[in-house]
Structure 1
Amino acid sequence: MTSPSESPGSTSSETLFASPPAENAADTSSWWSRYCSQLVGLSDTTKIVLKADCEYIVDKGIFGTDTHGTIGGTPSRVRRGLVIGSVQSGKTASMLGVTALALDKQVDLVVVLAGTRISLWRQTFGRLQSQLDTGDDGPVKERRRLLVPNLGEVSAPAGRVPLSTLYKFEPAQVRRAIRERRPVVVVAMKHADHLRALGKSIRDGVFRSVEAAGRDFRMLVLDDEADDGSILDALVEEGEDPVYGKLKQIPRAIADLWDPRSGVGAPSNLRATYVAYTATPHSNLLQEDHNPLAPKDFVVALRTAFDRGTIAPRETTFHEPKGYKSYYTGGETFYRRAMAAGLCRPTGDDPAVDTADAVRGFLVASAIMQIRAAGKLGPHAALTTTFSSREEAARRSPQPRSMLIHPSASISDQFEIALDLLDWAGHSDRVDSADRLSKSTAYLSELLSTNLDSERDIWQRWHKRYADSAEQVRNTFDVPIARSLPEWGEIEAALREEIIPGTRVSVVNSDHDADDRPEYDVWLDQDGWHAPRDLSTIFISGNVMSRGITLEGLTTTLFLRQTSNPFADSQMQMQRWFGYRNSYVELCRVIAPQEQLALFAAYHDNDEALRQAVVHAMNEDSTGIPSPLVLQGREFMATGKIANLRTKPLCPGSKPFIRLVNDGTKPDPNAELVTSLFRHHDSQDVSAAGLLRGRILSQPFTLGEAGRLLDGLQFDRYSPGLQNWQAEMWRDVQARVESQGQLPLGNQLYMPPELSEGISASTVRRDCPYSIGAYFRLWEACLSRHVRGLVPTESPRLRWSMSDLSERKRLQPRFWIGIRYGGGDVVTVDGFANLPFEVRAMQRAIENGELVATWGSRSPTAGPTEYRGDEYFDYYFRGETLPNSLADEPPWRPVGSDGLILFHINQVEGQLHPSVAVGVCIPLGGPDQFAATVPSSHLGPVRSK
């Protein structure tokens, strides 16, 4: 067994153990050891990965290049970064782990921003207390940390405790804590009023003591769900008055914690780090760099457990030796690997029928889970039993099971669906049903049991579906034996006796001040201990359930309509069925319109592409921060939190033209490229409509050969090098390509000429000639790889990662290479005189080093005996029928067609040497992506295709 090196935060130290060493549970001397002892549900391997990722964030994020917080010898007073997790994958576990390690490294003040709702704030506070701030309240804890606020204040009804009291710091306590190196830990709600109160308390009760400390004081701010409320849109807020304007207050109030705009200024010895945690980083990454919370110093991607992947070098997933029950159940399972298991089902034409069938599926799944949980009470029995102790209540209560219904964002629609559901289940009095919903006592009627008799065949279909799913899951994940299902008679008995009478319907309130989170803890009253309230619950909600709140035991999710505003980040957050559900994944179902399911799959593909780019940059271990492309689709935007987003395609278009030319004052190296090419390859004349139009090589080039040819172009006034946004963009794409297999050694997608010594790089062009060669190499690489985040140019609704690669390879284009003649004199210099044919120059105008015209005249309606245009040059050579000539059709060559590279030799009067311009025709069928850009982005405006 290999042991990790002395620097566990570094990439080289991360080792995958077949039998990893366990943390010493008896060691309680550090924050990390106490925290790790509470992670009882995680395998040893997962703990190792969790700790490695936390150490990476602490060492390279919070502290930068060294423990003194300097970069290149210059003190860095504020650092801002982003941590990207997956939906319900363990982001909070990472956040608490980072807190523990940071406290062990003597960070002085940790502020955890725990969501925009009271329910999330209290949920995170409770988790921090139970997992991080462990032990009984008393002197031991008091000597260990100063916690603000206290449990009683957090638990008090909303508004009962003034915010100035809730976040109050006693200066004497703070001075003593700083002197004793005892950290201050704050858990705050991410609400403008809470943040202002906290900021004032820090300025009044902490800053003066910091100034007197005589050492650097470290502050860490951890922002949970950081794309919720913490985003600034610079374009929208440009010109707004900073005091009286309608500006977003939450992000500025967060930044005020370490850099207040008014009042007491921040002490010069304050070193602050802001770490944004989110599963949907689209808006965080698209913020302008000057926004106070934009990630300018580090970006980190967390990893999830699966059946493949290594720890070093990092991949987005890592192999979990404990097997599939410990895997993260995310988009890879639902939309790819387990498609045959039927986990995703399209809705039909009748919402009432869909709702009834989905509820039957949930209840049958709950009955199966109940039967499997031998020794546990059913939900009905548990809810009607009083227990003598907490331990007995916890031991005998079943694991929670949940269903989620999304009717729409309208609260009235949500209540209407709830009332309809209760009516279907046997509650005929809608007034009584509404009263029960308001009192959280809307349980299904036992009259629903009669439906088991009248529609037995419909109920039993779910038994067959789950059995089929179990077999497909076994095949997918190489499980030795499929999970067995009870006989129908046993399931029916459980439905009648426990599941139906023990299942509650709940409409989740959208009020930010409401503490309406699901209740999964046992509770005590004067009668004794009771089981959790939400043992079997059908939650009905809109967007409020798509943020942060975890639904335990979620098996069934029903979307009754497709979203009208498909923003990828908010739609990814809706996927609450992600998590660690493989112990019952065969019982899980996502039921939605087919178009919505396709969108979910596309969101996941783009999400995985982004993570691959970040992980690749982390493995490179460079000093620059990852800046991955945020992808969107032809039919959906990345986020609605940034205004005026544009879409930048990757493909250079159907017929890009390189207008950039050399000035002709000296021999053009591109002329040598062309003449050498035609000296060493057989070629033939091309005639059309009775005229000689040019010359063409007798054999076409492959994609790779065509790319290398274009990379050979050289320009006197353009040499961009590799330190620019084009190179960065192509490195992002290459990272995704190489996650599916390395490119040949030394090969890159984007390969401009190397800069000569002493020559400064040119400003890179949006229509950079070398991006075309990069695109050809990408296309070639994608013929053997299911690269994420790409779509085929002919069908942008599809995903390249699901393409038939053998068919793609069969239809790949070849590129014909030609020279187009002009009406000028025969060119007799720079190697053209040595060709076995004469080349007549074009005489097109040149302005500022660029050809004014591109493809020249075009006659879309030209008949068979006429010349339609240069873009069909190779068709005339081959004698093939030209594509449909309707002028309103896009000028793309069809899938399976060949392409064209056509050199234009230009020499105007007075020009000593001819210069070369190039036109390229690209068929459909290649890979593309749609990068989201803001108006000020270097990626520039959308180019027409």
Structure 2
Amino acid sequence: MTLSDQKAFDSILSMAQNMLRLAAERAQSAVTPEMIEKELKKLAVLMEEDFDLIDREALVDELIRRSSRTVGENATLSSGEDHVPWLDAERKKGWTYWRRYSEYMETRIPWTALDALDVATDEVLSQLEDPRREGAWDRRGLVVGHVQSGKTGNYTGLICKAADAGYKIIIVLAGLHNNLRAQTQIRLDEGFLGFATIADADELPAVGVGLIDSDTSVRPNAATNRSDKGDFNTSVAAKMNVSPEQRPWLFVVKKNKTVLERLLHWIRNRVVNHVDPESGQKLVTNLPLLIIDDESDHGSVDTGEDVVDELGNPDLEHQPKTINRLIRSILHHFSRKAYVGYTATPFANIFIHDRGETQEHGPDLFPAAFITNLAAPSNYVGPGRVFGSASSTAHDLPLVRPLADDDFQSWMPQGHKNGYRPRWKGEDRIPDSLAEAIRCFVFACAVRKLRGQGSRHSSMLIHVTRFTSVQNVVVGQVAEYVRDLKGRYTRDIDLADLEASMRLEYETVFLPEMQRIRSALVEGETLDDFDWIDVRAVLPDVLSDIRVREINGTAKDALDYAENEGTGLKVIAIGGDKLARGLTLEGLCTSYFLRTARMYDTLMQMGRWFGYRDGYLDVCRLYTSTEMVEWFGHIADAAEELRQEFDNMVAAGATPKQFGLRVKSHSVLTVTSRAKMRNARPMQLTYSGDLLQTIVFPNRKDDIAANFRATDRFIKALGPSLDLNQQHFVPQGQRWNGRLWRDVPALSVISFLREYRTHPASFRIMSPLIADFIEEMNKDRELTRWTVALIGKDSGPDDKLRSVGGCSVNMLQRKRTTEHSDRYSIKTLISPRDQAIDLKEAEWTAALELSRKTWRNDTDRNDGRDPPSEPRGPQIRRILGEGVKDAGFPHRRDRGLLMLYLLDPTEAGEALAEADPVVAWAISFPGSTSERRVSNASYVANSVLWGGLNDWVD
């Protein structure tokens, strides 16, 4: 597509999108193909010349795709302390920067996403203070998005609105590296400034929003530029004089000691306009400040010790770490200021001490004013969809290729040192698994070319070592492999065997996998398949276009996507830390990832494969170790648990300071770096309000038999049972398979848990510890009587009935997630409805109402597009802990729910065909205000929780 063709396409797309929005509003219905056809006929008359230049079928496909997108609902915890509500329709009249950014984004994102961006940025801006408000004010908040979900676009919109509202100095803290800073500057040139900040240029050409609005009188001022060395410097500062009458100033700076010191020095010496007569502090009182902290969990958190004393009072003489100190100092020099951190991994931010403050630097960066959780659009593919979550059945999709140790260990062993030279089977070459991944990338590029996406960027990520010397060797090995493929296909040399194997790989593996991914994850778009003969025809051109690039501090690490906008860059990017955070890989199709960082936030930020893959999700693949697949699954669960807790707090009207957060820890993983957790302490653990489910089991016959015998004895001792359909309330249409016991004494459950052997690799489910917890809670007369359910699979053609304790039940099939020699691991055990077993109707209804209230329509959280039709676990447990006051139902904290299941042992391995069933269980604990705890380090709590500030629950 030529540049003029693209402009015509974008112009028609923008007009058509707006017309369809109005048509859908008039019809009060979703957009239909008939509606699209009707509006395009009108446009064809109005824009006849442009229509002659475009592919009408491609336009229709794009409109259908965009019309099918939905965006979930954001949620905000906020504090009204020293805040005056100010943002209304009248205040937004005549805004320039947002109007042109909104128009610029029309061709780039669906209107539903643009509307959502407008709502989300209004929500955040309204939590800040009106920049016209006189006197001193300070608002600090946090925006939590998803990894690779468009946070830059969100804060660009916020910056536009803040500038329209009257914020005069806007500082964006953009990563730790020059290329990340330059990348952010380019994005803000396009979305906010409207001109390319080219160093030493006589004229600054219009870009992005500047091509929409050519009025140079509204151009903001830029203190930094898009070159690698375009950060804030002394020579630029010497020429800058800022006054309140001027248009806003934008600074895009690294989180770097030298740069931030320069900026602070300039503020102190050139911007300050007032000295406080009492403290002598230099202040800027005439220029409202907004700081946007991109990746605010990285580099900005104070990792020093003793922020507060043993009584919780701030140490006013504490010396924060450098970057944290400088950010706080800049804020402290302004009497009117706002700070907004953006992150997808808030694990470090929640450990900032909420009371941290010093005389010299002011308060710490705890988000005391607000925390906003952004929902993901329906086309976002994140951890929840890639790896599944404990609250949903794992997708088990070929999107992820788990690698066994034998697939890479001899080539790139864990713990290798700088200077190591990787070898595969004694030769200087890549392992077979990486060669397969590169061929997958070649197939992906070929399919995209055949789909008409050949002029778009396609990237492959290889991230296997942090050492640049080792990366350099990998670059050579990868380049040699690509060179060999290219030579054979372009010169037809020794091609027969290679082509036969690639054809077999494409037809029997890659193509069927594409179809499976589409059926599970792709909605609202039709993606074509192609025969091998079509793919074969474009392979020589595809291979000729592929470039191998090294991305690290010692290499020329610019990925020149902009220079290849017309043809599309096809790149295999090999690197380490520079690829780990922030750097965008356009059109990322294939990832080969072996880096074994052990921190939640670092690992999640390395997930560059998350994001938007419209038109090519089915050709994407992630190659990583089986261990990493488990870790990412666990992190996805930890992040989801955080969000669920957050939703419950929003429903209760809590503030950020009342948000007592608990983050799962792991036997190997740490939540974030130990330094960032100085203000976190191992918890005296409570399971109140939690669901525990066994997902890791022994796979030795003797161990399986021991657990089966313990369960057999337990059930026999329970006495007569009810049919599981005889619950207090069974929703219409539900049928159950199993047995039910009520009012089981706690001692019976405790004895069972002490006898049942949990696997050592089960990092959270430790039967003896859970038994201890129940005993503790019994002291407050809680969890004293139990409902026990033995739950079987619904009847069907593959029934496998087994008896335990004299009760016959249908065994469940649960696939193993990864191959382990010592255990049988599954993703999730229970069905969503199981936690509602034996609820009273009023409890069931109240829990459903609360579930709908906290529903966010967030695809990556497996929320679904429709509000829940049955209550969800977290809300059930909360209702049981609080009661249903409107219906006169007291809480039922004395009641625990133990669910028992028999799993088909053949899923654990064919050798177990004659073994006893694998016994699995889950426990649902009602919420509680009890202070009872058991000692364990499976959770780490932030200062708010262990500081006792969550007493609001009472």
Partner deviation per Cα, 1:394-429 (whole Å, 9 max, x = no partner): xxxx1011111122222222222222223334469x
| Contact 1:163 1:197 (8 Å CA) reproduced | yes
- How far off its partner does 1:802 sit? 2.1
Conserved? CA contact 2:663–2:940, under 8 Å: yes
For residue 500 of structure 1, give the secondary structure of its aligned residue in structure 2.
helix
Residue 217 of structure 1, CA deviation: 4.1
Matched, 1:411 2:419: no
Residue 229 of structure 2: aligned partner: 158
Contact 1:426 / 1:447 at 8 angstroms: preserved in 2? Answer: no
1:422 to 479, 487, 490: 479
Q: Which secondary structure state, in structure 2, belongs to the residue aligned with residue 507 of structure 1?
A: strand
Letter in 1 for 2:194: T
3-state SS of 2:622 partner: strand
How many angstroms apart in 1 are the aligned matches of 2:494 and 2:642?
Answer: 48
| SS at structure 1 position matched to 2:299 | coil
Q: Which structure 2 residues correspond to residues 620-639 of structure 1 after superposition, within 5 A?
A: 620-625=652-657, 626-639=659-672
Give the CA deviation at 1:708: 12
Match of 2:190 in 1: 130
Deviation of residue 96 (structure 1)? 0.9
Specify the alignment match of 2:516 in structure 1.
472
Asked whether the equivalents of residues 703 and 776 of structure 1 are also in contact (C-alpha less than 8 Å), the reply is no
Counterpart residue number, 1:113: 173
Q: Could you say which residue in structure 2 is the equivalent of 1:841? A: none
2:592 match: 558
Residue 932 of structure 1 aligns with which residue?
Answer: 940
Change (3 A) 1:214 1:124: closer
Q: Distance in 1 between matches of 2:922 and 2:545?
A: 63
- 1:508 has 2:551 as partner: yes
Match of 2:699 in 1: none
Alpha-carbon distance in 1 for matches of 2:234, 2:263: 8
Identify the match of residue 802 of structure 1 among 808, 828, 835. 828
Amino acid in the other structure paired with 2:400: C
Number of residue equivalences: 624
Stretches of structure 2 lacking an aligned partner (at least 5 in a row): 1-24, 29-72, 78-88, 196-204, 277-281, 310-314, 357-363, 409-430, 689-716, 723-739, 749-763, 765-773, 794-816, 839-917, 949-954
User: Do structure 1's residue 59 and structure 2's residue 119 form an aligned pair?
Assistant: no
Larger radius of gyration: 1
Aligned to 2:731: none
Shift of 1:573: 0.7
The Cα of 1:215 is off from its aligned counterpart by 7.2
Mapped to 1, the partners of 2:178 and 2:687 lie a distance apart of 49
Shift of 1:937: 6.5
> What is the CA–CA distance in structure 2 between the aligned matches of 1:131 and 1:936, rounded to whole Å?
37
| Pairing partner for 2:108 from 41, 50, 54 | 41
Can you give the 5+ residue segments of structure 1 that lack an aligned partner in the other structure? 13-22, 260-265, 307-326, 377-397, 429-442, 524-529, 654-695, 711-732, 734-764, 785-790, 813-892, 901-916, 922-927, 941-945
Distance 1:936 1:555, change over 3 A: same
Question: Helix, strand or coil: the match of 2:229?
Answer: coil
The 1:130–1:92 alpha-carbon spacing in structure 2 relative to 1, beyond 3 Å, is same
1:245 and 1:782 map into 2 onto residues whose CA distance is 56
Matches within 5 A, 1:893-912: none
Which structure has the higher relative contact order (CA within 8 Å, separation 6+)? Answer: 2
Shift of 1:148: 3.2
Write out per-residue CA displacement over residues 299-327 of structure 1, whole angstroms, 9 at most, x where no aligned residue: 11111112xxxxxxxxxxxxxxxxxxxx1
What is aligned with 2:402? 346
Offset of residue 125 of structure 1: 1.0
**What is residue 305 of structure 2 aligned with on the other side?**
235
Q: Distance in 1 between matches of 2:826 and 2:289?
A: 44
SS in 2 for 1:630: strand
Cα displacement string for residues 524-572 of structure 1 (whole angstroms, at most 9, x for unaligned residues): xxxxxx856x71111111232111111111111112x461x41111000
- The AA in structure 2 aligned to 1:367 is A
TM-aligned CA distance change 1:243 to 1:493, over 3 Å: farther
- The change in CA–CA distance for 1:463 and 1:339 in structure 2 (over 3 A counts) is farther
Partners of 1:919 and 1:123 lie apart in 2 by 51
SS in 2 for 1:537: strand
More divergent stretch after superposition (408-417 vs 277-286) = 408-417
**Aligned equivalents of 2:166, 2:924: Cα separation in 1:** 62
Alignment of 1:162-311 (within 5 A): 163-168=233-238, 170-171=240-241, 174-175=242-243, 178-179=244-245, 182-208=247-273, 217-235=287-305, 248-259=321-332, 266=333, 270-291=335-356, 292-306=364-378
Match of 1:555, SS state, is strand
Aligned runs of 1:330-345 on 2, under 5 Å? 330-336=382-388, 339-345=395-401
> In structure 1, how many angstroms separate the alpha carbons of the residues matched to 2:784 and 2:549?
52
Taking a change above 3 Å as real, the CA distance of residues 216 and 585 of structure 1, as seen in their structure-2 partners, is: same
How large is the RMSD of aligned CA atoms in angstroms? Answer: 5.2
TM-score by length of 1: 0.57
Aligned residue type for 1:58:
L
Match of 1:196, as an amino acid? E
Q: Cα distance 1:806–1:119, how it changes in 2: closer, same or farther (>3 A)?
A: closer
Alpha-carbon distance in structure 2 between the residues aligned to 1:369 and 1:126:
27
Residues 157-178 of structure 1 deviation map (CA, whole Å, 9 limit, x = unaligned): 638x88212344633xx23xx1
Q: Per the alignment, do residues 811 and 209 of structure 1 end up closer, same or farther by CA in structure 2, a change over 3 Å counting?
A: closer
- Which residue among 557, 560, 563 is the counterpart of 1:519? 560
CA distance in 2, matches of 1:918, 1:608: 25
Conserved 8 A contact 2:97-2:160: yes
Say if 1:341 and 1:98 are closer, same or farther in 2 by CA, change over 3 A: same
Q: Distance in 2 between matches of 1:165 and 1:775?
A: 73
Q: What is the alpha-carbon distance in structure 2 between the residues aligned to residue 107 and residue 780 of structure 1?
A: 60
Q: Distance in 2 between matches of 1:576 and 1:53?
A: 24
CA distance in 2, matches of 1:11, 1:119: 32
Contact 1:426 1:446 in 2 (8 A): no
CA contact 1:300–1:618 (8 Å) conserved in 2: no
Q: Which amino acid aligns with 2:665?
A: Q
Distance 1:782 1:633 in 2: 29
1:809–1:206 distance in 2 versus 1, CA, 3 Å:
closer
Q: 2:530 aligns with which of 486, 506, 515?
A: 486
Note the C-alpha offset of 1:368: 1.0
Compute the displacement of 1:698 (Å): 8.4
**How far did residue 602 of structure 1 move?**
1.6
Q: SS at the partner of 1:583?
A: coil
User: 5 Å matches for 1:368-387?
Assistant: 368-373=447-452
Distance 1:782 1:343 in 2: 32
Q: Is contact 1:144–1:183 with CA below 8 Å preserved after alignment?
A: no
Q: Is 1:607 matched with 2:639? A: yes
Aligned partner letter, 1:629: R
Partner Cα separation in structure 2 for residue 9 and residue 364 of structure 1: 38
Question: What are the Cα deviations for residues 23-54 of structure 1, in whole angstroms up to 9, with x where unaligned?
Answer: 9xxx9852211111111211111112112111
- CA distance 1:52–1:45, change in 2 (3 Å): same
Question: In 2, are the aligned partners of 1:402 and 1:539 still within 8 Å (CA)?
Answer: yes
Which residues of 2 match residues 345-744 of structure 1 at below 5 A? 345-348=401-404, 349-351=406-408, 352-373=431-452, 398-426=455-483, 450=493, 452-460=495-503, 461-477=505-521, 479=523, 483-496=527-540, 498-510=541-553, 516-522=557-563, 535-559=569-593, 561=594, 563=596, 565-625=597-657, 626-640=659-673, 641-643=675-677, 647-648=682-683
SS at match of 2:474: helix
Alpha-carbon separation, structure 1, partners of 2:652 and 2:635: 26
Q: Report if aligned partners of 1:169, 1:202 keep a CA contact under 8 Å in 2.
A: no
- TM-score, structure 2 as length reference: 0.56
Inter-partner Cα distance in structure 2 for 1:419 and 1:300: 45
Aligned counterparts of 2:260 and 2:526: Cα–Cα separation in 1: 51
Q: What corresponds to 1:831 in structure 2?
A: none
How far is the alpha carbon of 1:199 from its aligned partner?
1.2
